[in-house]
Amino acid sequence: MKNVVYRIRHETEYRYSWPVTLSRQLLRLIPRSTPWQDCLWHEIRVRPEPPEWSWLEDFFGNPVAQFALHTPHDELLVAVESRVAVRSHAPAVAPNETLPWEMAREWLHGGAGGAVLDPAQYLFASPHVPVAGSLAAYARTSFRAGRPLLAAARDLTRRIHRDFQYDPKATTISTPVETVLKQKRGVCQDFAHLQIACLRSLGLAARYVSGYLLTHPAPGKERLVGADASHAWVSVFCPDLGWVDLDPTNDLLVDMEHVTVAWGRDFSDVSPMRGVILGGGEHELDVRVTVEPETEETAA
């Protein structure tokens, strides 16, 4: 079985107009290990260096690092470097060979011996993902009666990619999904939230996945250090396959060029860096990400 090994560097830098006297931060920046992915090594560097560190695993199984700074500072740099081996995990069957979506919905709601806890917790509305008739209506063009679940979900992925324009100035994290649906513009986290909301509005289980995507420089150009970005996509639960990842921003079935960091109900569960500070005033934020394929190797 072939592995692709990636080296990932993710730097987050804050510059404050006034000194910060206390900072406590949670980091979800360490790629998780999964059946198709191994985090081989990681290192976290923080400047100024924190005197307090702790490690935990959140409700969804994501690794979380926590630190506290008690000395005044007007800049904060968090640099995470990791090496990750990724194997193919795209479905081995054609989308048209999966269960009809109505049968999958019945299974998820316990009508066919289902209601398994893991997918069941992703059936409902969450802070950034509503359940609404307008979202179900948009999804139903793809989810015709009797259509196989993965074929329908794949068609919904394709339609979002076709109908919506990537525009980093159109939204913020607080922009409601219904607004994204109306204005047809946004970024990867908007498109992931939209597809999840559509799936849940039909009674299906879907979760939000954060991570990285290998980008390809133009022919003849070198890969730019720090020019990549965090990415977000969708995972839908198919009772006959398990979780299947879809990328509506790029109209893809996720496979070996995506690196998974964390998953949860929506972005609020997987924010890369979240915390509280005292002081600081206004701030400038700079995020730099580099994803480089290091080697291809064969696993035993």
pLDDT digits (tens, 9 = 90+) for 223-265: 656 668 899 999 999 999 999 999 999 999 999 999 999 999 9
Give which of 193, 188, 204, 206 is closest to 258, Cα–Cα: 188
Whether residue 261 sits in one domain with residue 130? yes
pLDDT digits (tens, 9 = 90+) for 186-232: 999 999 999 999 999 999 999 999 999 999 877 777 665 666 889 99
In a domain, 66, yes or no: yes
In a domain, 252, yes or no: yes
**Spatial contact of 230 and 267, defined as CB atoms under 8 Å apart:** no
Whether residue 79 sits in one domain with residue 126? no
Whether residue 276 sits in one domain with residue 217? no
pLDDT digits (tens, 9 = 90+) for 17-37: 999 999 999 999 999 999 999
Residue 110: other Cβ atoms inside 10 A: 11
pTM here is 0.94
Share of the chain above pLDDT 90, in %: 88
Whether residue 109 sits in one domain with residue 246? yes
CATH number of the CATH domain containing 133: 3.10.620.30
Name, in order, each residue with C-beta under 8 angstroms of 38's C-beta and a sequence gap of 6 or more: 84, 85
* pLDDT at position 225: 63
Instruction: Report the greatest alpha carbon distance in the chain.
Output: 61
Residue 177 backbone dihedrals phi, psi, to 5 degrees:
-60, -40
Whether residue 256 sits in one domain with residue 148? yes
Whether residue 115 sits in one domain with residue 67? no
Distance CA 192, CA 232 (A): 6
Reply yes or no on whether the pLDDT at 1 is more than 80. no
Whether residue 124 sits in one domain with residue 175? yes
| Banded pLDDT at 2 (limits 50, 70, 90) | confident
* pLDDT at position 216: 84
Whether residue 156 sits in one domain with residue 10? no
Whether residue 73 sits in one domain with residue 108? no
In angstroms and rounded to an integer, the radius of gyration of the C-alpha atoms of the chain is 20
Q: How many residues does the chain have?
A: 300
* pLDDT at position 228: 85
* pLDDT at position 111: 60
Domains held by the chain: number: 2
In a domain, 299, yes or no: no
pLDDT digits (tens, 9 = 90+) for 105-163: 999 988 654 456 789 999 999 999 999 999 999 999 999 999 999 999 999 999 999 99
Kindly report the average pLDDT of the chain as a whole number: 93
Whether residue 174 sits in one domain with residue 243? yes
- Structure-token pair, residue 289: 């990400």
In a domain, 223, yes or no: yes
* pLDDT at position 237: 97
CATH number of the CATH domain containing 78: 2.60.40.2250
Average pLDDT over residues 289-298: 80
Whether residue 133 sits in one domain with residue 51? no
Range of the domain at 27: 2-86+271-294
* pLDDT at position 219: 76
Reply yes or no on whether the pLDDT at 291 is more than 60. yes
Average pLDDT over residues 259-285: 97
- Structure-token pair, residue 148: 């196989």
Whether residue 285 sits in one domain with residue 221? no
